[in-house]
Amino acid sequence: MQTRVAVMGIIVEDLSSAEALNEVLHEYRGWLVGRMGIPYRERGIAVISVAIDAPQDVTAALAGRIGALPHVSVRTAYSNAIFDDEEDGPSFG
């Protein structure tokens, strides 16, 4: 199985959507490398970054689920390295 490391930038513009976002992230927890959330209290929003190592279709599905939440925006940046579980190092595509 080939995976790519990616980072998702997520902005939650209405904190009432945070619980639904956390539920979606929990469903994908096996693919997540880490996450960092920054509450921007002065603006009433949250800025979250999520690192993921997953097949590209899994990453795209997660981004789609997150983007469908009300008042939540997401953008994904993919690494060029493609990892194969049966190999030791990455290949670059």
Domain segments of the chain: what residues? Answer: 2-82
Contacting residues for 93 by C-beta, under 8 A, at least 6 apart? 80, 82
- Token pair of 22 as six digits: 């956390």
**Closest alpha carbon to 9 in 45, 41, 55:** 45
This prediction's pTM: 0.89
Contacting residues for 69 by C-beta, under 8 A, at least 6 apart? 17, 20, 21, 24
Query: How many helices and strands, by DSSP H and E, does the chain display?
Result: 2, 5
Pick the CATH number of 2-82 from 3.30.70.1150, 3.30.1950.10, 3.30.413.10, 3.40.50.12780: 3.30.70.1150
pLDDT-derived band at 85, boundaries 50, 70, 90: confident
Segment 20-74, tens digit of pLDDT: 999 999 999 999 999 999 999 999 999 999 999 999 999 999 999 999 999 999 9
pLDDT at 90: 55
